[in-house]
Amino acid sequence: METPFTNHLSFEHIYEPAEDSFLLMDAIEADDFWLRETVKPTICLEIGSGSGIVCSAVAKFLNVFCLATDINSLACRATRETAQRAGVIVECVNADLVKPVVTGKIDMLIFNPPYVPTENYEVASSNIAHTWAGGLNGRQVMDRLFPLLPELLSERGVFYLVLLEQNRPQEVERILQMQGLECQIVMKRRAGIEKLCVLRASKAQII
Amino acid sequence: MKLLTHNMLSSRCIKGVSVGYPLKISAKNVRLVNCDFDTDFTVRIIQKLDWNALWEAAESVGHADDIPKNLSDIDDYDKNDEFLRKVHHVVLEVEVIEGELECPETGRKFPIEDGVPNMLLNEDEV
Ligand SMILES: C[S@@+](CC[C@H](N)C(=O)[O-])C[C@H]1O[C@@H](n2cnc3c(N)ncnc32)[C@H](O)[C@@H]1O
């Protein structure tokens, strides 16, 4: 997967691509064959696209229409610029999680959430806090998404989520399994003090 | 905002709104862009579309002549190159740069600036 350029951006108010961003891209790239042959995604949605590096890379890599949301309007702007420079289409909406997105259409959902455990009041306290502050167990933001997944995803929909060890990946798996999703940790990596992994959840058993 | 994006947005997240779809478009600035055409991709996109919402959106930005009001009027659309190219044009090449989306039930307006709809809600709206 080609890494889109982000050197036109300043990272004062948006997330600068880091190990977690690259881990997510690598996990998707490793599923190349399965995605193309089995899932055959038409519509992809990235939540919290930030600089736009991940969705732009995915839009170039797979023949999909990419939508993105971010709660930070500067990130939406950055995502558009990054996509333009990479010569791909990514459409960005300034929104909270997937609130304005209609149900049943998303074949591929990706999220590198704010996952760092913090005090709850720190979540959403600034544009930069949005990029990392995850509240209790780092789960405050992503936990709001989980109940929406079965409706949001299409029949063959898959979901890729970056998690930190402190987010309790096994507990997340159980929550998603209770929604009827099949779960698997597809990649793990240590980045400095962070133990990161990517969880893949899919609606149908399409392995 | 492309019309394909509009096709996938609703205002159902507003408190008291039951469907919130399709959102009305009022466009102040519409731009045409070029995108590569791909037959297979366009067919797959059509399968995802809410056709009525697309037609209404096309009408509101002055492109209703490009596509039929009813998809069922077109036989074997997946083999109709001329039709597929028109759909491709309407869903991907027409972009609302400045304007507003409006909730069909409450009239709540969402501004579109630089092609990005702002669909953030205040706490008292959810
Ligand atoms: C860790 S950064 C990831 C950025 C980018 N996807 C990447 O991997 O480099 C998390 C992103 O999520 C966004 N975000 C945080 N809370 C959000 C919410 N409730 N809805 C939408 N986006 C959110 C932040 O603004 C930030 O851009």
Contacts of B106 in chain A (CB under 8 A): none
Q: Give me the pLDDT at residue A206, please.
A: 55
Question: Do A115 and A163 contact (CB within 8 A), yes or no?
Answer: yes
**Does the beta carbon of A54 sit less than 6 angstroms from any atom of ligand 1?**
yes
pLDDT at B8: 98
Q: How many CA atoms lie within 13 A of A166 on its CB side?
A: 15
Q: Hey, what CATH topology would domain A19-40+98-202 get?
A: Rossmann fold (3.40.50)
Q: Is the confidence at residue B65, as pLDDT, over 90?
A: no
User: What are the residue boundaries of the structural domains of chain A, listed by start?
Assistant: 19-40+98-202
Domains within chain B, CATH numbers bracketed: 3-114 (2.20.25.10)
What are the residues facing A97 on neighbouring strands? none
ipTM > 0.85?
yes
Order of all β-strands in the sheet with A153-164: A90-94, A65-70, A43-47, A106-111, A153-164, A194-202, A182-191
Please give the full DSSP string across A34-49, using - where no structure is assigned.
HIIIII--SEEEEES-
Q: Does ligand 1 have an atom closer than 6 angstroms to the CB of A140?
A: no
* Number of CB pairs, chain A paired with chain B, less than 8 A apart: 70
pLDDT in tens, B93-120: 999 999 999 999 999 999 999 999 999 9
Mutate which: A40, A80, A93, vs B, most B CBs within 10 A: A93
Q: Is the CB of A50 under 6 A from ligand 1?
A: yes
Closest C-alpha to ligand 1, atom 8: A21
| Residues of chain A with confidence (pLDDT) below 70 | 205-207
d(C-alpha B69, C-alpha B59), whole Å: 10
Substitution target from B7, B38, B46, B48 for chain A, most A beta carbons within 10 A = B48
For range B2-14, the mean pLDDT:
97
